[in-house]
Structure 1
Amino acid sequence: MFAQRFSMVFFSPRYSTRSILDHLFKLYPQEMGKIGNYEQCAFVSRGTGQFKPMAEANPTIGSTGALEFVEEDRVELVINDKGNKEELRKAVQELKKFHPYEEAVVYIHKLEDI
C-alpha cells in the first residue's frame, strides 16, 4: 500500500509528451498515474513556453542568445510513494534523464487526504 501521494508537474515540447509519458508509465505502472482502479492518468494542457539560452547552454531547441518560443504541454500526474520518497526520487530522476531539454523543470506537490 502507498503511504504518500504527490503531484508531479513538468513542461515538455509537444512532440515529446507522448513518448515521455509512455516511458514513465511503462517503468512505473503502479507508482505513476495510477488513481484507484485507473492507470496512466495525466492531465495535459497546451501553451507556449519561452526561454533564452545563455552562452553556456546547450539548447535542444533554439540558439544561444536568441529568445525562443515553443509549443509545449504542461503535464500533471500523480506519483504514489511507499513513504520513503524512493519512488518519487526515481520518477523525477528518470524524467530528467529521458526529457529532451537540457534543464527539465519539475514541480512536486505533496497531496493530502482530506
Structure 2
Amino acid sequence: MEITRVKLEIYAPESCVDSIRDALNELGACHIGNYDCCTSVSRVAGTWRPLPGADPFDGEVGVLSRGEECKIEVVCPAELAVRAVEAVKRLHPYEEPVVHVLPLWDM
C-alpha cells in the first residue's frame, strides 16, 4: 500500500476556519477529485492550562480553561503536508497550534 495522501486535523478558533481553508486550498490541499475547498468542520470542546512562560491566545497562565473551537479536517497530497502545516502555523493565532497529520492508505 502506498501513502500518497494525508488527512490534516487542525484545531482552531471558528474565526480562523475560512482563512485556513482558503490558504490550504491555494496550496492544492482540500482537493478531492474534481472538487476543491473540501473540508469538514465540527465544533469541539477543549481544555488547556497555560504554563509559566506561555503567552496564551485565550486563558490565563496557571488556570485551567475550557472552551469551544473547531476541528478542521482536510485531505492533502502527502508531498504538500509540510507546506500545509507551515501555512496553518503562519495563520493560526494559538502559540502552539494543534495539527495532526494522519497517513491515508491508497487501496
Relative to the length of structure 2, the TM-score reads 0.89
For 2:93, the equivalent position in structure 1 comes to: 100
The structure with the largest strand share of the pair is 2
CA drift at 1:22: 2.1
For 1:88, the equivalent position in structure 2 comes to: 81
CA drift at 1:19: 2.2
CA distance in structure 2 between the aligned counterparts of 1:113 and 1:20, rounded to whole angstroms: 26
List alignment gaps of at least 5 residues for structure 1. Answer: none
Q: Which amino acid letter does the alignment assign opposite residue 59 of structure 2?
A: G
For 1:55, the equivalent position in structure 2 comes to: 52
Q: How many residues align?
A: 105
List alignment gaps of at least 5 residues for structure 2. Answer: none
CA distance in structure 2 between the aligned counterparts of 1:23 and 1:56, rounded to whole angstroms: 30
Matches within 5 A, 1:1-114: 4-26=4-26, 28=27, 31-81=28-78, 85=79, 87-114=80-107
Q: How much is the aligned-residue C-alpha RMSD, in angstroms?
A: 1.4
CA drift at 1:24: 2.4
CA drift at 1:106: 0.9
Deviations 1:14-52 (A, max 9, x none): 2222222123223x1xx2110001101011111111101
Q: Which amino acid letter does the alignment assign opposite residue 100 of structure 2?
A: Y
CA drift at 1:58: 0.5
The answer to whether the 8 A contact 1:11-1:104 is kept is yes
Say which SS state the counterpart of residue 106 (structure 2) adopts.
coil
Q: Which amino acid letter does the alignment assign opposite residue 30 of structure 2?
A: G
CA drift at 1:67: 1.2
